[in-house]
Structure 1
Amino acid sequence: MSKVQVLFVDDEPNVLAGIRRMLHHKRDEWDMYFAENGFKALEEFKTAVMDVVVSDIRMPVMDGIELLEIIRVEFPNTVRIALSGQVQLTDVIKSTRAVHQYITKPCSSEALVEKIEGALGSREVITDPAMQRLVTRLQTLPVIPEVFHAIELELAAEDPCMKTVAELVSQDVGLMAKLLNLVNSPYFGLPQKIKSIFQAINLLGINTIKTLILSEQLFDEFEQRMLPQFSLSRLWEHSFRVSSMACFIAECEGLDRETALNCRMAGILHDVGKLILVSGFPDEYSRVLRMVREQGVTVHVAEEAVFDTTHAQLGAYLMGLWGLPGEVILGIGHHHKVRERALSVPFIVSVADVIDHNCVILHPEYVRIEFQESLMESMYEDGYMERWLGYIQDHWETMTNMPGFKMNLLKKEVA
């Protein structure tokens, strides 16, 4: 296997020397290059096309944002990571198009390696060269919104302040209003009316709020570009239901809080690849929808026929570039490929997805997603499905009693 090509850019020689020493143990796996400014960094691309570039943001003459924007245009397959100290919100906003993820200074070698390998690991989801070319065809990739970036930076601090996080969210009045509307919706079933973002953070946790911010921005970004026959609101509602049910299943099985949060995040983002395909390739995606309508195949089967990839793989690839947790990436990428029963994030998200597709019938010709028959039978015989459906119904009465949600459909079919 060829080595990974990694380029580090910083105008301070001492910082580069520190990184060189810190990552000495990776020399057998990585070819590492070091440049003291943007111009020298671009010269290094004549030596090798970099897999990853880690650049400081604040540099004289050509700053990191300008450098990473040039790399984005000329070398779109390169993972672009910003490594910087204190950054103003204006810097974050300027860099959202060019940067896949941020790392704050100072950082440990373990944290740096984890970020780089995590981003590279997303490529394992898409290994076929034709599929990778599909990604590079996208003129623009969706970027993590500036509020999300700023929150990431605050949480990376030694003693993050929840009040500061709440204030960051409150800088976007529209986003704040949408978040308060969401947390007060039946999906969460909270016993009291939430009147402030600070209160929402205390009750739901910062990771849930981050998930909502990310998903809200993603869905909102594509609203004006969708196909006429592609319902963004239905996709959002489905994703939110899957997110909530996945979290309930994790709770039912007594899984730890981190796993439950990963289930919630993977659930809400499991179909994000559809937004990428609809936005980037509307003509091709119209063929996907026509195949679903005329041939009765599921969406991911039709996507495979048209694109040689699926929304699950593409979504996992992009979320990996953004630095989301590995379990979340697996949950997104494998929610249609689960073959064995295990209380993992991919399995739980897959179960929640199947439950929703079978309990919410959007129209008479709706194509349902189903498990492999042997897997479904074992889940029913061992009482898992019965227990999970009962737990969801007991803990989410407001939602399961809404018109159009028929929890008993799946029970009858499995039985």
Structure 2
Amino acid sequence: MEDKIRIIFVDDEPNVLGSIRRMLRFKQKEWEFAFAESGAEALALFAERPFDVIVSDIRMPGMDGSELLQRIKQDYHKTIRIALSAQVGLDEVVHSIRSVHQYIAKPCDAKELVSKIDGALKSRDILNDYAMQELVAEIETLPVLPHVFKSVENELNSSEPSIHKIAELISMDVGLVAKIIKLVNSPYFGLPSQVESIFQAITMLGLDTIRALIVGTHLFSMYDATALPDFSLSMLWEHSFRVSNLARSIAEYEGLDRLQIVQARMTGLLHDVGKLVLANSFPKRYRNVLEIVTSENIPVYKGELEVFGTTHAQIGAYLMGLWGMSGDVVYGIGYHHSYDKFDMSVPMLVSVANMIDHQCIIINKEYNRIVVEKNIMHGIGEEKLEEWIAHIAGNWEGIVKFNILDKEMISLLRL
């Protein structure tokens, strides 16, 4: 019989733990629970047998939640770390953010609590390699382009900083987008709903808070281009930006609802975030990936499979799942190279958008071009594809310079 998922809840208020125990009684067949009233008690229970998930209050006497979660991070890398807390000050956010994967507002109902925990656990279904799970669980920073980071700082420090300009600058870097979306979805800020766009985040939080998060938390490492000269972070962003807008355009043309359009755009922007993790964490091994891609004429994700036994899609999905990104976005990231259904879902939209960009923009002439599953192409059909391309070209003036209107495009996409 498969072992149950082990989850520990830590709170200095016995009535809170009692409430959680009652709320989650219906999950007893799937999950094994433990409850601790202090950080010291929690660590003692971990020493007996580690847990898959820890959910801890932040404000506790003695060892607070931030210190406890930092200790868990150091000693039990694979444990998913979730903070359960009422709204607190920005200083406490900055203090705790490096040790927390995601946050749950307090009080919360059983549905929300289970959804958050399930979401983080299900991301492990996408990434099955335990060693990689451990690596990704430890990630607290993502590399960013130095000039983008400096531009954001300069705009924030100007006499009249522009929200539109800052949102535009932040959107130019995959690492910045991923980390800030994680931060602003924290219940610490008391926002009424899930935030899935940078402009929305800045508008709701205000520039002072954004300044503190970006400049004050030191959550971003400057990308070292010399470590992997054949890997361009700028080109990765340009590709991600185009895929984001291609997916959005198709979703809008098909009349999908606002949430699907927002999710398609966010998924497109973050679909290659796993490349940041692999290239930044393993520059020498990723150089081997690029060499294999060139010598064997295969797509990058297949080269990653040969070297790492996993792909950037799986790595990125796991990280975004840990950080509390919505399930559709996580799923879209994880399966953007392998989705095989024509259903106008977020994964399908991003798969098609990614394929269109790879077919039409030659990032490296020695790389194999990406195609999508035959079931999707059969479902779309040549006529529908032509409609999408015409709509994209007619509503996105900037894409014309990337030769999206190339006469050979439709023939390139035929399978």
Q: For this structure pair, what is the TM-score category when the shorter chain's length is used for normalisation?
A: 0.7 to 0.9
Which has the larger displacement, 288-297 or 327-336? 288-297
Distance in 2 (alpha carbons) for counterparts of 1:163 and 1:362? 32
Partner residue of 1:47? 48
Distance in 2 (alpha carbons) for counterparts of 1:338 and 1:151? 28
Partner residue of 1:254? 255
Distance in 1 (alpha carbons) for counterparts of 2:51 and 2:194? 34
Matched, 1:153 2:187: yes
Distance in 2 (alpha carbons) for counterparts of 1:91 and 1:234? 36
| CA drift at 1:221 | 3.7
Other structure's SS at 1:293 match: helix
Relative to structure 1, the CA distance from residue 139 to residue 57 in structure 2 (aligned partners, 3 Å threshold; closer, same or farther) is: closer
Partner residue of 1:15? 16
Distance in 2 (alpha carbons) for counterparts of 1:77 and 1:371? 33
Which has the larger displacement, 276-285 or 164-173? 164-173
C-alpha contact (below 8 Å) 1:7/1:33 kept by paired residues: yes
Distance in 2 (alpha carbons) for counterparts of 1:375 and 1:409? 20
Distance in 2 (alpha carbons) for counterparts of 1:384 and 1:65? 52
Distance in 1 (alpha carbons) for counterparts of 2:88 and 2:224? 31
| CA drift at 1:26 | 1.3
C-alpha contact (below 8 Å) 1:222/1:275 kept by paired residues: no
Residue identity matched to 2:280: S
Distance in 2 (alpha carbons) for counterparts of 1:388 and 1:142? 38
Partner residue of 2:36? 35
Relative to structure 1, the CA distance from residue 160 to residue 123 in structure 2 (aligned partners, 3 Å threshold; closer, same or farther) is: closer
Partner residue of 1:411? 410
Superposed CA offset, 1:98-142 (max 9, x none): 100011111111111110111101011022xxx221232469403
Partner residue of 2:162? none
| CA drift at 1:335 | 0.4
| CA drift at 1:355 | 0.4
Partner residue of 1:224? 224
Partner residue of 2:163? none
Partner residue of 1:402? 401
Distance in 1 (alpha carbons) for counterparts of 2:286 and 2:51? 32
Partner residue of 2:386? 386
Other structure's SS at 1:401 match: helix
| CA drift at 1:91 | 1.1
| CA drift at 1:172 | 4.2
Partner residue of 2:140? 142
Distance in 1 (alpha carbons) for counterparts of 2:292 and 2:320? 27
Partner residue of 2:106? 105
C-alpha contact (below 8 Å) 1:138/1:280 kept by paired residues: no
Which has the larger displacement, 98-107 or 370-379? 370-379
Partner residue of 2:4? 3
Relative to structure 1, the CA distance from residue 163 to residue 392 in structure 2 (aligned partners, 3 Å threshold; closer, same or farther) is: closer
Superposed CA offset, 1:149-196 (max 9, x none): 24543674459997985453444459999xxxxxxxxxxxxxxxxxxx
Distance in 2 (alpha carbons) for counterparts of 1:305 and 1:2? 31
C-alpha contact (below 8 Å) 2:313/2:333 kept by paired residues: yes
Residue identity matched to 2:251: A
Relative to structure 1, the CA distance from residue 260 to residue 403 in structure 2 (aligned partners, 3 Å threshold; closer, same or farther) is: closer
Residue identity matched to 2:45: E
Other structure's SS at 1:97 match: helix
TM-score (norm: length of structure 1): 0.82
| CA drift at 1:359 | 1.3
TM-score (norm: length of structure 2): 0.82
Relative to structure 1, the CA distance from residue 282 to residue 158 in structure 2 (aligned partners, 3 Å threshold; closer, same or farther) is: closer
Partner residue of 2:75? 74
Distance in 2 (alpha carbons) for counterparts of 1:328 and 1:275? 17
Once the two structures are superposed, the pairs formed by residues 180-195 of structure 1 within 5 Å of their partners are none
* Residue segments in structure 1 that go unaligned for 5+ positions in a row: 178-216
Other structure's SS at 1:142 match: coil
Residue identity matched to 1:400: I
C-alpha contact (below 8 Å) 1:5/1:48 kept by paired residues: no
Distance in 2 (alpha carbons) for counterparts of 1:121 and 1:80? 15
Once the two structures are superposed, the pairs formed by residues 174-185 of structure 1 within 5 Å of their partners are none
Other structure's SS at 2:55 match: strand
Distance in 1 (alpha carbons) for counterparts of 2:205 and 2:137? 33
Q: Could you say what the CA RMSD is over the residues aligned between the two structures, in angstroms?
A: 2.8
| CA drift at 1:364 | 3.3
Other structure's SS at 2:83 match: strand
State how many pairs are aligned. Answer: 370
Distance in 2 (alpha carbons) for counterparts of 1:164 and 1:347? 29
Distance in 1 (alpha carbons) for counterparts of 2:6 and 2:194? 34
Superposed CA offset, 1:17-76 (max 9, x none): 111111111112111100000000011113332111000001111110111011111111
Partner residue of 2:165? none
Distance in 2 (alpha carbons) for counterparts of 1:123 and 1:52? 12
Other structure's SS at 1:224 match: coil
Distance in 1 (alpha carbons) for counterparts of 2:18 and 2:10? 11
Residue identity matched to 1:149: L
C-alpha contact (below 8 Å) 1:303/1:310 kept by paired residues: yes
Which has the larger displacement, 71-80 or 153-162? 153-162
* Identity in percent: 43
Distance in 2 (alpha carbons) for counterparts of 1:167 and 1:158? 12
Distance in 2 (alpha carbons) for counterparts of 1:384 and 1:372? 16
Runs of 4+ in 1 over 6 A off after TM superposition: 159-164, 174-177
C-alpha contact (below 8 Å) 1:358/1:409 kept by paired residues: no
